[in-house]
Structure 1
Amino acid sequence: MRLYSKCEHCGDKHFLFGVLSPERNVCPDCGYHYPMESKYRIKLVKDRYSFEEIDKDMSTCDPLDFPEYDKKIRQAQHRSKRKEAVITGRATLGGIPYMLVVMDSAFMMGSMGSVVGDKITRAFERATSERLPVVIFCASGGARMQEGIVSLMQMAKTCAAVNRHSEAGLLYISVLTHPTTGGVTASFATVADIILAEKDSLIGFAGPRVIQQTIKQNLPPGFQKSQFILEHGMADMVVDRHDIRDLLHTFFQLHRDTPKEIDHTELSAADKQWNKKHKKTDKNKAQALDAPAKTDDCADCADSANNNKHENPFAQLIKTARHAGRPQTSDYIRELISDFIQLHGDRRFGDDSALIAGVGFFHGIPVTVIGHEKGRDHDDRTRHNFGMAHPEGYRMAHRLMKQAEKFGRPIITFVDTPGAYPGIAAEERGQGEAIAANLLMMAGLKVPVISVVTGEGGSGGALGIAVANKVLMLENAIYSVISPEGCAAILWSDSSRTTEAAEALKIQAHDLLKFQVIDEIISEPAGGAHCNPAATIESVGQAIARQLSDLLKLSGPELADQRYERFRRIGDCEDIVVKNRN
């Protein structure tokens, strides 16, 4: 009797009983994810006794009378104890009903023939009729060759069903497991609202052998693995099998109907965290909550305020707006947004660490949050590209904003960037078009959009996520068509005139409020936001809640009209002429 199993990934031996259990099948040492039988997949993501299989008796046909196909089917059915490579049915998770589809690579590599395609299509049709979310666990070698052109057409058929489900405003989550390739990757698997890639999965269109045989090249380590597709923008997250159940439940909750009123009684995430961790009064909270350490150049904090009395106010403003200790998007999310799930990728080319984006709850309301992230120290800033987004960042924002509109979720954006990244690669991938597409799309969004300029609002790179119903701005933030340094260099060829350019450009909040570019100025603590990040975050949260309460009262068309009129009046020439006459 065999008592031990050897992990094929790390080589360690494990006692068989209770370690590599079929319910998880994950190596306890290296975390390697082994393939999983469909019955255990189902058990993992449902409430007890809730799964009800549908189309159970559908069995494979042989449309082409392909040689020995009948024999292969019978062998696969005997080995797997099931009729085909997919199981579909209704289930509940945390009491929430949904449609579950589980593919099984143990049946002819999970290949998609007419029955697989038809069962998946029927699952989407039922889910559309019953207004259920759909979750598919994909595991397939692609289209089934023995069914030829009929198999190929299942790619179009399943996508057509997905489209109808999507047009009904319903959620579809695709979980890509090992392996997901070929015609399944090129159809229903990669057109979901949320795409999760299970750890250690092979995911791609052409398999590694096909690529190597065709182009005669050796493939790099990790090619087409889960982390690879995340880095190349094709998945929202790489997930551990242990986390999938809870993650799916959170997604279900986030995609239920959006409340029309803010729950003012609900504590913010910061309040909950503070009360749990410190059990102190609100008076103490603002002074100590996760405040970033003051840096050596923090000359404008209260303890050294005398040092900058003679500094040019615009030089001081620029320094304060760019201070590394100011709260960043990740700080606002951590303290204001509960159950936040970060999402990734533009579905075209890559991910972009200059922008953080995802979904969570703000005062009990599901929201989409997108914001620039500059980083703090040099390594962190380099990793986040100093908050300068590439085209893929703006396309990720575009994708998630349209998704927010589909599900009726308000959008909150945090702006803090010197500008869009001006590199060669960004130009090659269409930086200007990516920003322009966002401006066009945001103008017509039928959900509330609130933007907060938290530090530096640099040109089109800032505006690319800030075409909002309400634009708020921190007191010491700046917002401009170009940096003061850039203006001084271009117009006067003299970098010493930076503060003069800053004053002439009217980059400060009070001027921008007069021009109606912004709608509200949020006060900062003495010395600036970096001197008391917790108090700043609290003020920003209160301002967002106040503005969102008003916007939630408007219909979709009213929101789009309000946003149009808001930007239409900025720089209205007739209005300027009348003012000049007066």
Structure 2
Amino acid sequence: MIKNLIKKSDIKIRESKADVPKGLYVKCKSCKSPVLADDVKRNSYVCPKCGGYFRLNARNRLKIIADKKSFEEWFCNSDFVNPLKDAAYMKKWTDTREKTKTDEAVITGKISVKGSPAAIAIMDGRFMMASMGSIVGEKITKTIEKAQRENLPLIIVACSGGARMQEGIVSLMQMAKTSAALKKYRNSGNLYISLLTDPTTGGVTASFAMLGDIILAEPNALIGFAGQRVIEQTIGQKLPKGFQSSEFLLEHGFIDAIVERDKLKNTLSYIIKMHYESDKNANYVSQTKTDNVVRDKLTPWERVVKARDKMRPTGLDYINGLIDDFMEFHGDRYFGDDRAIVGGIGYFHGKPVTVIANTKGHNTKDSLKRNFGMANPEGYRKSIRLMKQAEKFKRPIICFVDTAGAFCGVEAEMRGQGEAIANNLFEMSDLRVPVLSIVIGEGGSGGALALAVADEVWMLKNSVYSILSPEGYASILFRGTKKPEEVAGLMKLTSFDLLQLNIIEKIIDEPEHYSVENMEETIKNIDEEIQGFLSRYESLNALELVEKRYDRFRRM
């Protein structure tokens, strides 16, 4: 009877829950999964499940970049600045400072990165979204100035919501102030590395963040000037997926590379050591072995066919064979990154060099990716950007030329193909560092010349270099009455022809059936020839180099 008086609805069973200590788990914003906080920390604050990036405060960022106990803080204990006399701003600033236990939205100082000293500024998103006000602008400017005085490389880690609204026009002026300081710093010959992290927006993007000699970014970071909501509301247009991401900026030519967080310290160390600690006086062998290349019985047209062979080594193959620790840099800083031209930095016998190369591809997929080696204006603008960077840091430049010509599409003309080529010819003529160009396949018209205004130009034995293709030549001059095979000889486009015309200085021998598989001996010969070139031209001062290059083309 008692049993019948008890309803099931009256029975409540309390499920026992394990007590989870606060902070044991954190939620990944990318995959929405709970993950152990210690696992995230050990993994450089990257989700071990999906690879999503957690945002870092400045102190945690410092631990990832800097050597242990190497940080020496500069310019802390800032006094509050309130140009608009905003009482609410003063309270918010004071409360934020107390809550975050930070001086302001940026920490600055000196660190070492794998033993290499550097000045650093790291923004902290916890402090009013790392917006740039007077204190942030002043601390960054002072750090730039001190880095210049002490001849230190500079790293700035950007993370910001933009200008600080509470300081009005005074906040806006920090954009100009920091940019002006960077101009003086960069003109002094020092290296500025900008690292863009999530998010980098507004006035910070439109000032110091985008002014690095080398600009790196973390994967999937939000980077842009105007906010996405503002853009959508202003123009009434739905934005594409991936808009304003690191990957978007890489594709559109605004950053050099995306670097994963666990590779960041090694990457920074590599770049700093190349610019500040490399051997400036490498010992080269100066003998040459390929001056007397035997002319075989191939016809000019047969050499054209060989120069176009898809199995022939590409520019990237030469980089891989000759250059140690090559790091590719991307983008023209204006519109895009052209994969028909590969450029970057690396070591040649321990000496830092800048390398620029036309690259075609060995198969259809890669050829399409590289646009068959035919560069758009962005490729030429990228190449001259990297050459001017080489000039600043006194690195020799090696170019590998292999193109049927500059791309002649409508879009290329709209973006100024002629101007881009002309500017390369103009700027390369007085670069104050040694410049070597090697035609490794096709040397087609102005598109090839745009990478060949050099102190010396060499050609592989079966490469060709001409005013345009034999097909074009036959069409324009003979209106189809002669075949390309017939006019190739008239064009004087072979390496032997051009050596006789004093257009080039050297012919490099190559195997009969030349490919990546049998290029080892050719690589060895080119290596020794480049050593000889550098030993000759690095002994000249900048004015002698420029005058000698001018005389070379003046005689033609």
Aligned to 1:268: none
Aligned to 1:456: 442
Aligned to 1:180: 200
Aligned to 2:4: none
Aligned to 1:540: 526
Aligned to 1:490: 476
Tell whether the 8 Å contact from 1:478 to 1:508 is kept in structure 2 after alignment.
yes
Q: 1:11 aligns with which of 29, 32, 36?
A: 32
The answer on 1:159 being equivalent to 2:179 is yes
Amino acid at match of 1:147: E
Q: Displacement of 1:406 after TM fit?
A: 0.4
Tell whether the 8 Å contact from 2:340 to 2:372 is kept in structure 1 after alignment.
yes
SS in structure 2 of the partner of residue 68 of structure 1: helix
Aligned to 1:254: 274
Cα displacement string for residues 166-209 of structure 1 (whole angstroms, at most 9, x for unaligned residues): 01000000000011000000001101100001112100000111
The answer on 1:21 being equivalent to 2:7 is no
Cα displacement string for residues 119-168 of structure 1 (whole angstroms, at most 9, x for unaligned residues): 00000100111110100100001110111111100001001110111010
Amino acid at match of 1:181: T
Matched residues, percent identical? 50
Q: Determine the C-alpha separation between the residues in 1 that align with 2:481 and 2:26.
A: 68
Q: Which consecutive residues of structure 2, in runs of 5 or more, have no partner in the other structure? A: 1-19, 286-295
The TM-score with structure 2 as length reference comes to: 0.92
Q: Determine the C-alpha separation between the residues in 1 that align with 2:82 and 2:210.
A: 28
Aligned to 1:288: none
The answer on 1:216 being equivalent to 2:236 is yes
Q: Which has the larger radius of gyration?
A: 2
Aligned to 1:359: 345
Tell whether the 8 Å contact from 1:59 to 1:84 is kept in structure 2 after alignment.
no
Q: Is the alpha carbon distance of 1:225 and 1:260 closer, same or farther for their aligned partners in structure 2, counting shifts above 3 Å? A: closer
The answer on 1:313 being equivalent to 2:299 is yes
Q: Is the alpha carbon distance of 1:533 and 1:12 closer, same or farther for their aligned partners in structure 2, counting shifts above 3 Å? A: farther
SS in structure 1 of the partner of residue 40 of structure 2: coil
Amino acid at match of 2:420: A
Q: Determine the C-alpha separation between the residues in 1 that align with 2:507 and 2:543.
A: 27
CA RMSD of aligned residues (A): 1.6
Q: Displacement of 1:352 after TM fit?
A: 0.4
Amino acid at match of 2:28: C
Tell whether the 8 Å contact from 2:278 to 2:350 is kept in structure 1 after alignment.
no
Q: Determine the C-alpha separation between the residues in 2 that align with 1:23 and 1:374.
A: 38
Q: Is the alpha carbon distance of 1:90 and 1:524 closer, same or farther for their aligned partners in structure 2, counting shifts above 3 Å? A: same
Q: Determine the C-alpha separation between the residues in 1 that align with 2:131 and 2:27.
A: 29
Cα displacement string for residues 196-237 of structure 1 (whole angstroms, at most 9, x for unaligned residues): 011121000001111112112111111101100100101001
Q: Determine the C-alpha separation between the residues in 2 that align with 1:211 and 1:409.
A: 42
Amino acid at match of 1:10: C
Amino acid at match of 1:339: D
SS in structure 1 of the partner of residue 356 of structure 2: strand
Q: Displacement of 1:257 after TM fit?
A: 6.3
Q: Tell me which moved more, 509-518 or 223-232.
A: 509-518
The answer on 1:171 being equivalent to 2:157 is no
Q: Displacement of 1:447 after TM fit?
A: 0.3
Aligned to 2:6: none
Q: 2:512 aligns with which of 526, 529, 544?
A: 526
Q: Displacement of 1:25 after TM fit?
A: 1.0
Aligned to 1:280: none
Q: Displacement of 1:18 after TM fit?
A: 2.8
Spell out the pairing of 1:78-93 with structure 2 (5 A cutoff).
78-93=98-113
The answer on 1:556 being equivalent to 2:542 is yes
Spell out the pairing of 1:438-449 with structure 2 (5 A cutoff).
438-449=424-435
Aligned to 2:454: 468
Q: Displacement of 1:377 after TM fit?
A: 0.8
Q: Displacement of 1:528 after TM fit?
A: 3.5
Q: Determine the C-alpha separation between the residues in 1 that align with 2:76 and 2:50.
A: 37
The answer on 1:192 being equivalent to 2:192 is no
Q: Determine the C-alpha separation between the residues in 2 that align with 1:23 and 1:150.
A: 40
Aligned residues: 525
Amino acid at match of 1:375: G
Spell out the pairing of 1:239-250 with structure 2 (5 A cutoff).
239-250=259-270
Q: Determine the C-alpha separation between the residues in 2 that align with 1:90 and 1:463.
A: 44
Q: Determine the C-alpha separation between the residues in 2 that align with 1:4 and 1:45.
A: 25
SS in structure 2 of the partner of residue 20 of structure 1: helix
Q: Is the alpha carbon distance of 1:510 and 1:530 closer, same or farther for their aligned partners in structure 2, counting shifts above 3 Å? A: farther
Aligned to 2:151: 131
